[in-house]
Amino acid sequence: MKLNFQKLGTRIPNTDLLVLFVFEGEKPKLPAGVELAKVATTGFKGELRETRVADALKGPADRVLLVGLGKAKDLDPERVRRAGAITSLRAEALGAPTCAVLVADGVVEALGGERAGVALAEGAVLGAYRYEENKSKPKQAKHESTTILGPASLEAGVAKGLVLAEANAFARDLQNKPANLLTPSDMADLAEALEKAGRISVKVFDKRDMEKMGMGLLLGVAQGSRQPPRLLHLTYKPKGKAKGRVALVGKGLTFDSGGISIKPSAKMDEMRYDMSGAAAVLGVFHALRKLDVPYEVHGVCACTENMPGGQATKPGDIHTAMNGTTVEVLNTDAEGRLVLADALCYTTSKIKPDTIVDLATLTGAVVVALGHEMAGCFATTSKLKDELLAAGDETGERLWPLPLLDYHKDQMKGAYADLKNISGGDMGAGSSAGAAFLAPFAGETEWAHLDIAGTAWGGSAREWVGGPLGSGYGTRLLLKWLESR
Ligand code: BES
Ligand code: MN
Ligand code: ZN
């Protein structure tokens, strides 16, 4: 779908579908020249997500779509984002090639032009996201272009929202690819393609490099697969002096079968999404240059499969991390923390950032605790936690703080080696145990761990999220965090 902005003048352009956002309790304000049958608006309340379609009797549009925003006092960017997504979904369902969204003054007054523009553009583009690349006869979208009509103050926000939405779609495309069409080497190729766009450099480490660096945990996960692993290191440098150095670390399991501790077969195909942390990190690099982010940003993605091949790690095997820590692998399905541990060792020793944020589809337990609309946030400082939560509230990628206490760390002490990769017994708190395993590898560096196992896919409560497909969760959140820091 193409997205345009047009400053609202006296004339509404010709369009198949004119879209009006309506606050609850207010009458739809039809622009001059547009006429509807009297009954077309009767009974329309303007509740959030309420829609109504009517044929236009007169004017530049064939049809008019009313979209409810809910009460004016409750307006926030997420409601505008959802109205934008509803617009795209309805335009597609109605088979309208073009639509024009008239942005009510009240929306711009309440949120400011930039915020309103970002949210609306994001919603419109994310709501139109489709994944057809593996259909032999891909269905063409019926809805082709959306024009946002409003005051000039919206324009910069619309342009930014488009960049953010495209970065999100890039991450979603990676997520949605099945594991045979997106291997660790394919991820490396895609990262290298980002390099060509400029101001980003990419280093790709293969198995030999990992052996030299002593990444025994990452190699231990990879050894059961025919697909060779890759560690990606992307670097973005801002034009002027950097405001600081930040590292984003992503779990990149292109497939997680569980290994010898194999998963049940139901829904195992969803483990294509176990690279969603890495996808979110690559999504950030898709947009950094376009947004002129003032930080030096490093992205580290640990990419491998977790498979039960003849060489696979067996429960009880002991592997040694890059920093010398020994780990007994009691459950080969707790592999995310193993690959992240070596990625964190690499990050702290080679990059030495001020702050690390990792994203990982780490535990099923976080889905039990928080569902699909919120990710778990563990952070070593309340400042970092507050910054990330605020960014998530703004982008609609919400986070909830979870505890990481000393007793969680004690549970990860090994009997035969320094650490074990599961807490074992009936300790519960599975997401905290995962975070506790990672903590020593982040060392003294300010660090946050986002467990995105619930939010990376499967969310359906909000129109822009993606339903059964990947959500691209994390990309816009991290970019917002970098912007507002
Ligand atoms: N990738 C999974 C986590 C996951 C499970 C994500 C379900 C989304 C949906 C991870 O590698 C894993 O298998 N974790 C185990 C850890 C356990 C063995 C301690 C889990 O959560 O069951
Ligand atoms: Mn697993
Ligand atoms: Zn996994």
pLDDT digits (tens, 9 = 90+) for 75-98: 999 999 999 999 999 999 999 999
CA of 390 to the centre of ligand 1 (A): 27
- Residue 427 falls inside a structural domain: yes
Q: Which residues contact 168 (CB under 8 A, 6 or more apart)?
A: 122, 126, 283, 472, 475, 476
Give me the catalytic one of 263, 350, 385, 485. Answer: 263
What's residue 425's pLDDT? 80
233 and 347 belong to one structural domain: yes
User: CATH number of the domain that 333 lies in?
Assistant: 3.40.630.10
**3-state class of 117 per DSSP?**
helix
What's residue 424's pLDDT? 85
**The last residue of a domain, from among 149, 176, 209:** 149
479 and 364 belong to one structural domain: yes
In this predicted structure, the answer to whether residue 10 has a pLDDT above a threshold of 80 is no
Q: How far apart are CA 103 and CA 110, in angstroms?
A: 12
**3-state class of 357 per DSSP?**
strand
Instruction: Tally Cβ neighbours within 10 Å of residue 479.
Output: 25
- Residue 38 falls inside a structural domain: yes
Distance of CA 291 to the CA centre of its chain: 17
337 is catalytic: yes
Report the percentage of the chain scoring pLDDT > 90: 96
Q: What is the mean pLDDT of residues 119-130?
A: 97
Of the CA atoms within 13 Å of residue 302, those in its CB half-sphere come to: 30
**Contact between 34 and 61 (Cβ < 8 Å):** yes
Q: Among 363, 438, 473, say which to mutate for ligand 1: greatest number of ligand atoms within 8 Å of CB.
A: 363
Angle at CA of residue 99, ends 96 and 105, nearest 5°: 150
CA of 368 to the centre of ligand 1 (A): 11
- Residue 160 falls inside a structural domain: no
127 and 189 belong to one structural domain: no
Q: How far apart are CA 186 and CA 373, in angstroms?
A: 29
In ligand 1, the atom with minimum distance to the C-alpha of 253 is 1
Q: What is the dihedral of CA 209, 212, 215, 216, to 10 degrees?
A: 120
Q: What is the CB < 6 Å shell around ligand 1?
A: 256, 274, 331, 333-336, 361-365, 367, 422, 430, 453
CA of 345 to the centre of ligand 1 (A): 22
Q: Kindly report the backbone phi and psi dihedral angles of residue 340, in degrees, each rounded to the nearest multiple of 5, phi listed first.
A: -70, -35
Q: How far apart are CA 431 and CA 408, in angstroms?
A: 10
Dump pLDDT digits (tens) for 393-450: 999 999 999 999 999 999 999 999 999 999 988 889 999 999 999 999 999 999 999 9
The structure tokens listed for 367 are 């889905």
CA of 446 to the centre of ligand 3 (A): 24
Which listed ligand is nearest to 375 at the C-alpha? Answer: 1
The structure tokens listed for 178 are 């099945």
**Contact between 78 and 120 (Cβ < 8 Å):** no
Q: What is the mean pLDDT of residues 18-25?
A: 97
**Contact between 248 and 167 (Cβ < 8 Å):** no
Confidence of residue 237 (pLDDT cuts 50, 70, 90): very high
Q: Which residues contact 201 (CB under 8 A, 6 or more apart)?
A: 195, 234, 235
**3-state class of 107 per DSSP?**
helix
What's residue 104's pLDDT? 87
The structure tokens listed for 409 are 């760390």
101 and 131 belong to one structural domain: yes
Question: Into how many domains does the chain fold?
Answer: 2
User: CATH number of the domain that 25 lies in?
Assistant: 3.40.220.10
263 is catalytic: yes
Beta strand 145-150 pairing with 355-360: unpaired
